[in-house]
Structure 1
């Protein structure tokens, strides 16, 4: 996942270039998500934010998440109803997730050929893809037992 300070700086530049406001609350939500190695749920964000901002409420968090997703800075992990920072927010792209079922680590992949093939196949069926969510659940390298451990 992206390094938080670099991501925040990149997000500021991207929002400025697009003429949209990168408010302190949006910045803090992105920062909390980026600091987390796995998916972060909205209510976990709310718990963390409420210790810093007494006015933090669910609509505040959901509006910030909606903005960040719209700007391509955050992705939603559908199967976990959680959010992760985008590894490459500087351009629009298809993406896939590798999600470790033990430690929760999320790795973002950019297999554009997969995205293109799925879209092309869908189009051949008369279907127009608006959004793709590909999530692979398994074990990351750190959580995968070695051959000697599994004996």
Structure 2
């Protein structure tokens, strides 16, 4: 049984706008705890800590940055520690891999089944997660017309975030 709602969010992309970041971290951890309890998944201390690290920033973090932070907090220092936790979080929709950066970000909508698209700032690596239903619908139509079966899509756009826009023009 899963606690994931099938409602698609119409909220603005999370990541670039100002918000209560402490609440963002607390809410993300709470949603993960609920999801894991409902689905009978083990939300181990290291998995929780990795998610907390990802939630603390809205920019993608590489596995070795995460590993350094885990080591600083007294967790294991071997790469499999971080990779296993990240694999669990991605598999269960609590985090996403940003292919362009080979890095990870916490899911902004862990309580929803959704098809995210990512906007990546090329200057500061901030990442905003948005819905991409229109893009995915167009891909699905094209695939259907050609008989292609889509198994996985990743939508990532690179540009400049609002916070860096002035820096890019200078």
Gaps of at least 5 residues in structure 1 are none
Q: Which residue of 1 aligns with 2:29?
A: 8
SS across alignment from 2:166: coil
Quick one: distance in 2 between partners of 1:112 and 1:35?
Answer: 27
Gaps of at least 5 residues in structure 2 are 1-14, 16-20
CA contact (8 A) 2:46 2:75 kept: no
Matches within 5 A, 1:74-85: 74-85=95-106
The structure 1 residue matched to 2:138, chosen from 94, 117, 135, is 117
Q: Which residue of 1 aligns with 2:70?
A: 49
Give the TM-score normalised by structure 1.
0.91
How far residue 123 of structure 1 moved from its aligned partner, in angstroms, is: 2.3
Quick one: distance in 2 between partners of 1:61 and 1:54?
Answer: 10
SS across alignment from 2:50: helix
Quick one: distance in 2 between partners of 1:53 and 1:67?
Answer: 20
Q: Given the alignment of the two structures, is residue 61 of structure 1 paired with residue 79 of structure 2, yes or no?
A: no
How far residue 144 of structure 1 moved from its aligned partner, in angstroms, is: 1.2
Quick one: distance in 1 between partners of 2:99 and 2:87?
Answer: 14
Query: What are the Cα deviations for residues 62-101 of structure 1, in whole angstroms up to 9, with x where unaligned?
Result: 1111100011010000010000011111122111111111
Q: Which residue of 1 aligns with 2:156?
A: 135
How far residue 103 of structure 1 moved from its aligned partner, in angstroms, is: 1.6
Pick 1 or 2: higher relative contact order, CA cutoff 8 A, min separation 6.
2
Give the TM-score normalised by structure 2.
0.81
SS across alignment from 1:120: helix
Following TM superposition, where does structure 1 have runs of at least 4 consecutive aligned residues deviating by more than 2 angstroms? Answer: 53-56
Calculate the aligned-residue CA RMSD, in Å. 1.6
Aligned pairs, number: 148
Quick one: distance in 1 between partners of 2:28 and 2:141?
Answer: 32
Quick one: distance in 1 between partners of 2:37 and 2:145?
Answer: 39
